[in-house]
Amino acid sequence: MLEELAKWRTAWISDVHLGNKICKAEALLNFLRENDFETLYVVGDLIDVSALKRRIYWPQEHNDIIQKLLRKGRKGARIIYVPGNHDEHVGGYLGLFGCVAVEKNAIHTTADGKRILVFHGHELDAMLVHNLGWRGQVGDIAYTLLVGCNRTVSLGRRLMGLSDWSLSAYVKSRAKNVLKFIDDFERAAVSYADAQDADGAVCGHIHSAKVRKIGTMDYYNAGDWVESCTALVEDFNGTIKLIRSVDYRRGSKMSSSSASAGDILVSYRDRPRASKTGGLDLRRHLESQGGGSTISIPVQS
């Protein structure tokens, strides 16, 4: 009997960071195996080029993700790749390459007619990070260290039979300066979209998954595949929601206590379904160059 896939009109993933040990590749592979879509936006930082420059790290799972994305494209899905700051060199090659279209940013029209600007979010750094000064640099270093600690914390919790938990996400959710920066980013993102006559914005970059209404504008952040393991999906009525792929390791579970107050918990089993139908060796290329059970949708105003 063929496994059923969740069927979506559109999906958005961001900040995968292939080529970096912090990438939770198994979680993304599970998402791609369990979900199908007519259009997939890769909203920047698919490949962490800066990490690969420091050290070549490309396990088979990272290769599998590239192959899975290309396979979905060959089967008819539109794949739109919007580069970010960690893969910004891809931005020098805009155009259609087989089944993948590389675009600086994109306008997505939802099923109910809304215009959504899709961009990574690093375009806002010049304004936001400059305003933070030296604190922005220190914060970036601290976040990188915390993400690195996540693997050790997760290993310890699994040995004790506990569910996965993100130390970096916990610290971010309780640091006032970080919360203010995230709020500033979200407001800047919708202003950026409004200036381009859009009704809302979809971005990534700050590793903070969110669905939020800011004034008359819709703000969506696809999150990341480093700590939150989230994606945005649009159903065939035009509703965009956030799904969280927490069960990326066999046996891991998410309890309702892991959702913050004010979040709406929606059963992943409520997803729409349809019957299931139906390589690229980047490691070798880089060496030659030398070089679900639950989803959480934050509701804010």
Q: What is the pLDDT of residue 301?
A: 37
186: its two tokens: 């979200």
**Which CATH number applies to 4-122+176-298: 1.10.287.130, 3.40.50.300, 3.40.50.12780, 3.60.21.10?**
3.60.21.10
Q: What is the pLDDT of residue 279?
A: 39
- How is the chain split into domains, by residue range? 4-122+176-298
Residue type, 154: S
Alpha-carbon distance of 234 to 118, in angstroms, equals 14
Helix (H, G, I), strand (E, B) or coil at 99: coil
Q: What is the pLDDT of residue 132?
A: 44
Q: What percent of the chain has pLDDT over 70?
A: 64
Nearest to 226 by CA among 255, 206, 240, 211: 206
Q: What is the pLDDT of residue 264?
A: 33
**CA distances from residue 198 to 79, 160, 192, 194 in whole angstroms, order as listed:** 21, 48, 9, 5
Pair 272, 38: CB distance under 8 Å: no
Q: Which residue has the higher pLDDT, 32 or 161?
A: 32
Pairing relation of β-strands 95-97 and 100-102? antiparallel
pLDDT digits (tens, 9 = 90+) for 198-231: 999 999 999 999 999 999 999 999 999 998 899 9
Q: What is the pLDDT of residue 5?
A: 87
Q: What percent of the chain has pLDDT over 90?
A: 57
Question: Does the pLDDT of residue 153 top 60, yes or no?
Answer: no
pLDDT digits (tens, 9 = 90+) for 232-276: 999 999 999 999 875 434 333 333 323 333 333 333 334 555 433
Q: Average pLDDT in the 160-168 region?
A: 63
pLDDT digits (tens, 9 = 90+) for 30-68: 999 999 999 999 999 999 998 899 899 999 999 999 999
pLDDT digits (tens, 9 = 90+) for 95-143: 999 999 999 999 999 999 999 999 999 999 887 865 444 444 444 545 5
DSSP tally for the chain: helices H, then strands E:
8, 15
Length reported for the chain: 301
Q: What is the pLDDT of residue 285?
A: 41
Describe the strand order of the beta sheet including 106-109 as a list of residue ranges: 106-109, 115-118, 200-203, 217-221, 210-214
| 249: CB partners within 8 A, 6+ apart | 26, 158, 164
Q: What is the pLDDT of residue 33?
A: 95
DSSP string, 119-147: --SGGGHHHHHHHHTHHHHHHHHHHHHHH
Q: Which residue has the higher pLDDT, 148 or 298?
A: 148
